[in-house]
Amino acid sequence: MKKYIFLVAILGFTMSGCLDNAKSSYKNEVCVASFELLSGVSKCKDGQVLSFQPQRWGNEQLPIIVSTYYCDFNYPIVQNKAGVTCVYKRRFNAEEEGVENNSSK
């Protein structure tokens, strides 16, 4: 009987890992956005990997703006001189804040 309970518990732990993958079916998809902030970002879905690769920065605050509005802080955010990569999650309505329309200024 103890073996049966132990087996059920192990099986339950093993299967619970499958539920994490079911929450976001987009984990293996990449959403690419360029400098015209973020042209293409409106097509991104929560859980996709966002790759922001501007041709030029123009503003040192841009990576912070991108991560604030479009990155899920529960996952790593990678930033260097080439761009920002993170798990996409629209945190705020960027259009109302003027981010998407005024980003290239």
DSSP per residue over 60-72, as a string? Answer: TTHHHHHHHHHB-
Going by C-beta distance under 8 Å and a sequence separation of 6 or more, which residues neighbour residue 91? 68, 69, 70, 71, 72
pTM over 0.85: no
pLDDT of res. 99: 54
For 7, the 3-state DSSP assignment is: helix
Closest CA to 23 of 45, 51, 42: 45
CB 77 within 8 A of CB 84: yes
Q: How confident is the model at residue 9 (pLDDT cuts 50, 70, 90)?
A: low
The C-alpha atoms of residue 27 and residue 82 are separated, in whole angstroms, by: 22
